Structure 1
Amino acid sequence: MTQAAERERQKSGGSARRSAARLAAVQALYQIDHSATSSDAVLEEFLRFRLGDSFDTENDVAPYKNLFTEIVRGVAAHGTAIDEAVGAALSKKWTFDRLELILRAILRAGVYELESRTDTPARVIITEYVDVAHAFYDGQEPGMVNGMLDRIAHSVRADEFGDGSIGG
Structure 2
Amino acid sequence: MPGSKQVGAGARTRARELMVQALYQKQIAGHSTAELVAQYREDPAYDRVDQVFFDEAFPAISNTQDELEKKIDTIIDRPLEQLDPIELSILLIGVYELESRIDVPYKVVINEGVNLARRFGAAESHKYVNACLDAAAQLLREIEVLAGPRTRG
8 Å CA contact retained: 2:98, 2:140: yes
State how 1:17-28 maps to structure 2 within 5 Å.
17-28=11-22
Is the alpha carbon distance of 1:119 and 1:137 closer, same or farther for their aligned partners in structure 2, counting shifts above 3 Å?
same
Match of 2:60 among 74, 90, 101: 74
State how 1:106-145 maps to structure 2 within 5 Å.
106-137=90-121, 139-145=123-129
Partner of 2:41: 47
Match of 2:141 among 157, 164, 168: 157
Match of 1:16 among 10, 13, 32: 10
TM-score (norm 1): 0.79
Aligned counterparts of 1:50 and 1:41: Cα–Cα separation in 2:
16
State the aligned residue count. 141
- Percent sequence identity over aligned pairs: 29
1:61-89 C-alpha deviation (Å, 9 max, x unpaired): x1111111222111112111100111111
Match of 1:96 among 73, 80, 105: 80
Secondary structure in 2 aligned to 1:139?
Answer: coil
Moved runs in structure 1, 4+ residues, more than 6 A?
Answer: none
**What is the RMSD of the two structures over their aligned residues, measured on CA atoms?**
1.5
> Is 1:87 equivalent to 2:81 in the alignment?
no
8 Å CA contact retained: 1:126, 1:150: yes
Aligned counterparts of 2:93 and 2:120: Cα–Cα separation in 1:
15
